[in-house]
Structure 1
């Protein structure tokens, strides 16, 4: 079962390089340094992302971004309105199950891994935008309706 095994080293390394590239890009453009706790949580986010735990990456990315906002569930500086609404809605669907209409299924683990990876990548980009807000903000993610 691919989901329970460590990805091949080349895949892990590709994911790690992408993650670290995102961090470097956002840190170079951002105005503030993240907190100690945010840095510690980013290490966990990188681990689950590299492992391919896509739902966990989305949930953790939201927690990191939310921690950067001044009020609970408020949009953090540096994150565009569309990105924040998308991430918050997806996180809510993942952690508050709707009986009979699961947001994430066992079938998704087998058949929709590429879609969930794309969602996780967008969530990671949003978390970095919250950690390193650019002076003029903007949209961090790639697609609006995922």
Structure 2
């Protein structure tokens, strides 16, 4: 019996050690794979940077809240079109990605809104039932 207990404890420690090593290896693999897959931003050629106009500020209504992070800049329509076709394709791809993100966000928000409406409706029914039960108890 004593031998089985020692053997069980040893086996338990081996399993725990293997799991810790696997978790550590997975953690390191994820950190190194995400850091190596990040792409460096491409530098803007001097010809494009020097030809860009300074963005004009549009007055915003006072009631609109200021958000520090915007997905799309308002001055995107005033920016000149790059002459390099590769840069143009990059811009098109970037704008398409932004459009996809906005559509996905819109669908998510609509689903959340529908869920909230359904939850409100169910809570109203629950309150009515509780009021009815309370009225019956009196």
Q: Same fold (TM over 0.5)?
A: no
Q: Which structure has the greater CA radius of gyration? A: 2
Bin for the TM-score computed over the shorter chain: under 0.3
The alignment's TM-score, normalised by the length of structure 2, stands at: 0.27
Greater relative contact order (Cα 8 A, min sep 6): structure 1 or 2? 1
The alignment's TM-score, normalised by the length of structure 1, stands at: 0.26
Between Structure 1 and Structure 2, the one with more helix by share is 2
